[in-house]
Amino acid sequence: MPVKPRHNFKPGAKPPIRKTPFVVILGFMLLGIIGIATGEPQRVLEQTILICLSCIGIG
Amino acid sequence: MGALRRWVQVLSTLLVNGSWDFPFTRTIYQGPLKVLCAPGLNCHSCPASTTSCPIGSLQQLLAGLRLSLENGQFYFGFYVLGFMGVLGGIMGRAVCGWLCPFGLIQDLLHRIPSRKFAVPAGLRYLKYGFLVFFVILLPLLVVDQFGSGDTWFCKYICPAGTLTASLPLLIMQPDLRQDLGLLFLNKFVIMVTFLTWAVYASRPFCRTTCPLGAFYALFSRVKLIKLRLDHARCTNCEACHQVCPMGVKFNQSPDDAECITCLACMDKACEAGAIYLEIGGVPVSSRKRGPVTTTSNLS
């Protein structure tokens, strides 16, 4: 049974570059930059250099 | 390719756990590198950890959101989400297959000779529940009188935290042992269950419970680096089913959310050369055998 083509580009032509991954990456990069702008990395650092005993099941 | 993946896994594990003076300091690393998130599940309370766990950090930010808003600070977790999203957009669950330390531990345990069993397929959906409820909703919504929430997944579930943080700290700081109770017993039982299960089934934690894996799975269709199937070359021999550590039937679902891009199907199984790696639409791996296909058959 012949395989049904799943793309519209012509046989023999180069497959097109997928743009969606770049849009997604850019979107999350923007989100990360907003997080950095609000000072979240500093907060992450403050929280992660301390041992939260109850968070690891002790106490 | 399997050996390369193992080396990358080991290197990644050593990079995110690079603080080896803990036997002398008897505490965790407290340097500036912890501002960075680890790509995989790697508890930041592990004495050797030099980075923060994205799932742990996200829960801590969400658990403290009300308090931070009251103080005029907007810690919604965008920094951590952005980091996870960029990695997910590039690699998706290849992070689980190539970079996650707990994935490496499970892979090694599975090499112990024993009878092997499949993980029931329906359990794969559990991890999305853990992501939504234990990582996002419960830390955000269940708060104490001061408006502070709990890190539900870390506190009640995470076996990686028990193995790499709780146990080493209990060994190094004997005083902590007097604080052990039902909470630790619950986590210890969960850890032993998953470690034992990993001997008999491949990556049970990744497949059923890991919220980070669930997040990266959301990128299965849109990630930059992915395995593709050339339908024209596929003979439906189902050899790819036999080698997949995640139980993916690649010829039936090439965009399966469980695929960790370990490349076993492409490298070890597919004699027809129907499986190949592509980056952003551009094939990067050579196809081994089989007739030349037209690009219109790529999916």
Cβ-based contacts of B68 with chain A (< 8 Å) = 43
How far is CA A41 from its chain centroid? 17
Nearest to A28 among B89, B166, B170 (CB): B89
pLDDT (tens digit, 9 = 90+) per residue, B72-98?
999 999 999 999 999 999 999 999 999
Q: Which of B37, B82, B69 is nearest to B55 (CA)?
A: B37
Helix (H, G, I), strand (E, B) or coil at B103: helix
Q: What residue type is assigned to position B123 of the chain?
A: L
Q: Is some CB atom of chain B closer than 8 A to the CB atom of A1? A: no
b (16+ CB within 10 A) / e for B134-159: bbbebbbeebeeeeebbbbbbbebbb
Q: Which of B220, B154, B209 is nearest to B187 (CA)?
A: B154
Q: What is the ipTM score, two decimals?
A: 0.89
CA distance B113 to chain A (A): 31
* CB proximity under 8 Å: B 111-150 to A: 150
Q: What does the longest C-alpha to C-alpha distance in chain B come to?
A: 68
- Residue B299, C-beta contacts closer than 8 angstroms, at least 6 positions apart: A6, A7, B228, B229, B230, B231, B254
* pLDDT score, position B179: 86
Q: Output the six-digit token pair for B238.
A: 């189902």
Q: Is some CB atom of chain A closer than 8 A to the CB atom of B45? A: yes
CB spacing of A55 vs B281 below 8 angstroms: no
* Portion of chain B with pLDDT greater than 90, in percent: 89
Q: Output the six-digit token pair for B71.
A: 């103080």
Probe site for chain A from B22, B27, B30, B35 (most A CB atoms < 10 A): B35
**Range name among A13-22, B138-147, B149-158, B192-201 with the lowest pLDDT average:** A13-22
pLDDT (tens digit, 9 = 90+) per residue, B29-84?
999 999 999 999 999 999 999 999 999 999 999 999 999 999 999 999 999 999 99
**Dihedral class, residue B263 (left if φ above 0, else alpha if ψ from -120 to 50, else beta):** left
- Strand arrangement of the beta sheet that strand B275-279 belongs to: B225-229, B275-279, B282-283
Query: Residue A6 — pLDDT band, cuts 50, 70, 90?
Result: very low
CB spacing of B89 vs A25 below 8 angstroms: yes
Q: Which helix (H) or strand (E) segment is B211 a member of?
A: helix B211-217
Cβ-based contacts of B78 with chain A (< 8 Å) = 31-32, 34-35, 38, 40
Dist. CA B149–CA B141, nearest whole Å = 7
Q: Is some CB atom of chain A closer than 8 A to the CB atom of B282? A: yes
CB spacing of B57 vs A18 below 8 angstroms: no
CB spacing of A55 vs B56 below 8 angstroms: yes
Q: What residue type is assigned to position B240 of the chain?
A: C
What B112-120 contacts at long range (C-beta under 8 Å, 24+ apart), as own/partner pairs, is B112/B199, B114/B199, B114/B200, B115/B200, B116/B200, B116/B201, B116/B202, B117/B200, B117/B201, B118/B201, B118/B247, B119/B201, B119/B202, B119/B204, B119/B207, B119/B208, B119/B247
* B174, burial (CB in 10 Å: exposed 0-12, middle 13-18, buried 19+): exposed
Cβ-based contacts of A45 with chain B (< 8 Å) = 32, 34-35, 52
Length of chain A: 59
Dist. CA A45–CA B32, nearest whole Å = 7
Cβ-based contacts of A46 with chain B (< 8 Å) = none
Q: Is some CB atom of chain B closer than 8 A to the CB atom of A2? A: no
**pLDDT value at B153 more than 50:** yes
Round the average pLDDT of chain B to a whole number and report it: 93
**Mean pLDDT score, A13-39:** 93
Cβ-based contacts of B81 with chain A (< 8 Å) = 28, 31-32, 35
Q: Is some CB atom of chain A closer than 8 A to the CB atom of B224? A: yes
* CB proximity under 8 Å: A 10-49 to B: 10-18, 20-22, 24-25, 27-36, 38-45, 47-49
Q: pTM of the entire structure?
A: 0.91
Query: Residue A54 — pLDDT band, cuts 50, 70, 90?
Result: confident
* pLDDT score, position B45: 94
Highest mean pLDDT among A45-54, B100-109, B287-296: B100-109
**pLDDT value at B292 more than 80:** no
* pLDDT score, position A52: 87
Please report the beta strands in chain B, taking only residues with DSSP state E, as ranges in sequence order. 225-229, 275-279, 282-283
**pLDDT value at B275 more than 90:** yes
